[in-house]
């Protein structure tokens, strides 16, 4: 076994480092106290999406490591309905960047993993066995594929961040799923759910931890609480403006941006037609 | 800050421990070599679904810790379209177990987290702002909620396993989503995507690492390779039978079980009707 025991994480976070992470994540007014912390959890709390990569090459064995982490995530009924395409070819990345609406970090990243909801593998195994696979044509089974792909991808992201690398998901591949399928040679019943651009973070263009909504708005005890306290929403507005200021971004807050993104079909960048695209890709959606 | 720096992970895995993990995960014929390993990655590779829990109480601060980890996962356009209900009440757990088809570990687990695709929060924020939210009625936006929930839940699972706890996802909540919504008081436009039963693993009933398909069947380079080498499928059959034997389970392999699960609508335990259920829950699915 040539496994390299590389890049051990630093020592467990101190209490003050932990507090700083939680203030970054929630703002000082809403940062929870009394959390359980270790290196792995500190790593999760430290996540930031990286869109600026250096040209430092990726380590040998990275792709296989990320796929092993991904496959170690749970899979619904162990159906293993995800696959992944590892793209390093500059021309393919350029085309993916264009499909994603001109996201230049897709080209800059040395590696793009495209996570697939893959119902074709079971279809082919059924064909070889002479066994019906009619349940693959239901919307539920596409959900299974999407969930399997998401759980897998998140494990890969956790793994790569633990190695000091950075990444960002690329949901915009769903703007034009048929073109992604053509580019990557996907058979029917396979959807590119999202991409993950991966590289060494460029130290000259660092990303910060983005604040999230207060746990008061997200965590419910025993039953859903629909009261949505306005004060917590306003604390979040303030925390996100502070983040935006620190990143040199326009201080537009969250509410206006999020509401603009869900205002109507025209805000969905083509994803309002995803049912037609899925039908074209062979999904039954029953 | 009262953050407890608890349960530091053991020292980095040795090469022989790493090899053993990979043989468990892939079988000896298909175990990849040359992977990059550290404690976090070793933790990911060690995942096993735990369905047998001891009655040892959960640590203080666990739920807030898991939610902080969950919210630290990426969110599509930062829309934060997931919520989570933490269920500890025995009556509610008993009802959830029944909805899930009588899964007794749902009762045995001291905590069940129900992960929600939550489009209601943005709908309410839009209502308060007098802003349209028509894009919430598209199938794509439900995908966003499902993906946000899955990424978040997987971070929570990684966090709880790093603390020595165990868990198992409960996809069977999708068998009867309207009943889950009624039980938990979910407003329209909120779907219980899956549950996560959590507790201390019962040392008397240990779970093993379940093998997965060879990377040859899951990882594609540059373009999708549909050849699906039969030898790799057969290696997997053998690895899974070895696992089943070790767990005292019937040695049925993978292909027959997986194909039985996708044979047709009758194998979906009610999930063939999920479109009707989603419509009843208020989702537009346009």
Give me the residue spans of the domains in chain A.
13-46, 62-203+274-280
* Cβ-based neighbours of A127, under 8 Å, separated by 6 or more: A133
Quick one: closest CA in B to A86, which residue?
B221
Residue A4 has pLDDT above 80, yes or no: no
Residue whose pair of structure tokens reads 């309905």 in the numeric block? A81
The bridge status of strand A4-5 relative to strand B36-37 is parallel
What is the predicted pLDDT for the residue at A5? 43
Cα–Cα distance measured from residue A159 to residue A43, given in angstroms and rounded to the nearest whole number: 10
Q: How many residues does chain A have?
A: 286
Do residues A231 and A214 make contact, with C-beta atoms less than 8 angstroms apart?
no
- Closest to A140 (Cβ–Cβ): which among B3, B135, B274? B274
Q: In whole angstroms, how far apart are CA B98 and each of A229, B92, B175, B261?
A: 33, 10, 11, 20
Phi-psi region of A168 (alpha: psi -120 to 50; beta: other; left: phi over 0): beta
What is the predicted pLDDT for the residue at B9? 41
Nearest to A136 by CA among B108, B263, B223: B263
Residue A186 has pLDDT above 60, yes or no: yes
For residue A36, the cross-strand partners are B4
Which residues of chain A lie closer than 8 angstroms to B34, CB-CB?
2-4, 60-61, 64
What is the predicted pLDDT for the residue at B15? 81
Which residues of chain B lie closer than 8 angstroms to A95, CB-CB?
none
Do residues A60 and A221 make contact, with C-beta atoms less than 8 angstroms apart?
no
Which residues of chain B lie closer than 8 angstroms to A174, CB-CB?
140, 143
- Closest to B268 (Cβ–Cβ): which among A5, A140, A218? A140
pLDDT band at residue A15 using 50, 70 and 90 as cut-offs: confident
Phi-psi region of A207 (alpha: psi -120 to 50; beta: other; left: phi over 0): beta
Residue B177 has pLDDT above 60, yes or no: yes
Question: Buried b vs exposed e over B182-201: b needs ≥16 C-beta within 10 Å?
Answer: ebbebbebbbbbbbbbbbbb
Q: For the residues A81-104, what does the mean pLDDT come to? A: 97
- Closest to B259 (Cβ–Cβ): which among A59, A126, A153? A126
Q: For the residues B181-191, what does the mean pLDDT come to? A: 98
Cα–Cα distance measured from residue B190 to residue B72, given in angstroms and rounded to the nearest whole number: 21
Distance from the Cα of B95 to chain A's closest Cα (Å) equals 12
Q: Residues of chain B with pLDDT > 70: what percent?
A: 96
Q: Do B35 and A210 touch (CB under 8 A)?
A: no
What is the predicted pLDDT for the residue at A7? 41
Q: What is the pLDDT of residues B79-132, one digit of tens each?
A: 999 999 999 999 999 999 999 999 999 999 999 999 999 999 999 999 999 999
Of the options 3.40.50.2000, 3.40.1650.10, 3.40.109.10, 3.30.930.10, the CATH number for the domain spanning A62-203+274-280: 3.40.109.10
Q: Do B140 and A174 touch (CB under 8 A)?
A: yes
Cα–Cα distance measured from residue B44 to residue A241, given in angstroms and rounded to the nearest whole number: 35
What is the predicted pLDDT for the residue at B1? 34
- Number of Cα atoms under 13 Å in the Cβ half of residue A207: 19
Q: For the residues A149-159, what does the mean pLDDT come to? A: 98
Nearest to B240 by CA among B20, B30, B16: B30
Q: Do A218 and B8 touch (CB under 8 A)?
A: no
Which residues of chain A lie closer than 8 angstroms to B88, CB-CB?
222
Q: In whole angstroms, how far apart are CA A156 and each of A150, B134, B154, B175?
A: 10, 34, 11, 29
**B140, B152, B231, B233, best to mutate vs chain A, most A CBs in 10 Å:** B140
Q: For the residues A110-131, what does the mean pLDDT come to? A: 98
Q: What is the pLDDT of residues B198-243, one digit of tens each?
A: 999 999 999 999 999 999 999 999 999 999 999 999 999 999 999 9
- Positive or negative: CA dihedral A10, A11, A14, A19: positive
Q: Do B83 and A219 touch (CB under 8 A)?
A: yes
Q: Where are the alpha helices (DSSP H) in chain B?
A: 15-26, 39-45, 62-71, 90-99, 105-108, 120-129, 139-162, 177-184, 215-218, 230-246, 255-261, 274-280
Global confidence as pTM: 0.96
Quick one: closest CA in B to A255, which residue?
B125
Quick one: closest CA in A to B258, which residue?
A79
Residue A96, number of CB atoms within 10 A of its CB: 27
pLDDT band at residue A9 using 50, 70 and 90 as cut-offs: very low
What is the predicted pLDDT for the residue at B16? 86
Per the structure block, which two tokens stand in for B90? Answer: 């025995």
| A·B CB contacts under 8 A | 451
Quick one: closest CA in A to B46, which residue?
A72
Q: Which of the pair, A257 or B14, is modelled with greater confidence?
A: A257
Nearest to A163 by CA among A197, A200, A195: A200
Q: For the residues A192-205, what does the mean pLDDT come to? A: 97
ipTM higher than the 0.90 cut: yes
Per the structure block, which two tokens stand in for B228? Answer: 């699906």
């Amino acid at each position: 076994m040539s496994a390299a025991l590389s890049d051990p994480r630093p020592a467990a976070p101190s209490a003050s480092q932990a507090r700083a992470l939680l203030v970054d994540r929630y703002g000082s007014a809403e940062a929870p106290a009394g959390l359980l912390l270790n290196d792995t959890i500190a790593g999760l709390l430290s996540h930031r999406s990286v869109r600026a990569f250096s040209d430092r090459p990726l380590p040998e064995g990275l792709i296989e490591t990320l796929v092993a982490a991904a496959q170690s995530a749970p899979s619904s009924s162990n159906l293993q309905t995800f696959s992944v395409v590892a793209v390093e070819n500059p021309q393919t990345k350029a085309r993916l960047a264009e499909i994603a609406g001109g996201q230049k970090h897709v080209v800059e990243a040395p590696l793009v993993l495209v996570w697939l909801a893959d119902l074709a593998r079971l279809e082919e195994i059924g064909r070889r066995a002479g066994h019906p696979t009619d349940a693959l044509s239901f919307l539920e089974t596409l959900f299974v594929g999407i969930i399997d792909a998401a759980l897998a991808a998140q494990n890969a992201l956790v793994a790569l961040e633990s190695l000091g690398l950075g990444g960002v998901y690329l949901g915009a591949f769903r703007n034009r799923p048929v073109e992604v399928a053509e580019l990557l040679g996907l058979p029917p019943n396979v959807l590119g759910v999202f991409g993950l651009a991966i590289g060494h973070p460029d130290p000259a263009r660092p990303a910060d931890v983005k604040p999230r909504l207060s746990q008061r708005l997200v965590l419910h005890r025993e039953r859903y609480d629909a009261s949505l306290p306005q004060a917590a929403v306003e604390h979040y507005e303030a925390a996100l403006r502070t983040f935006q200021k620190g990143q040199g971004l326009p201080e537009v807050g969250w509410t206006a941006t999020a509401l603009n993104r869900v205002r109507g079909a025209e805000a969905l960048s083509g994803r309002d037609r995803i049912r037609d695209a899925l039908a074209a890709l062979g999904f039954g959606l029953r």
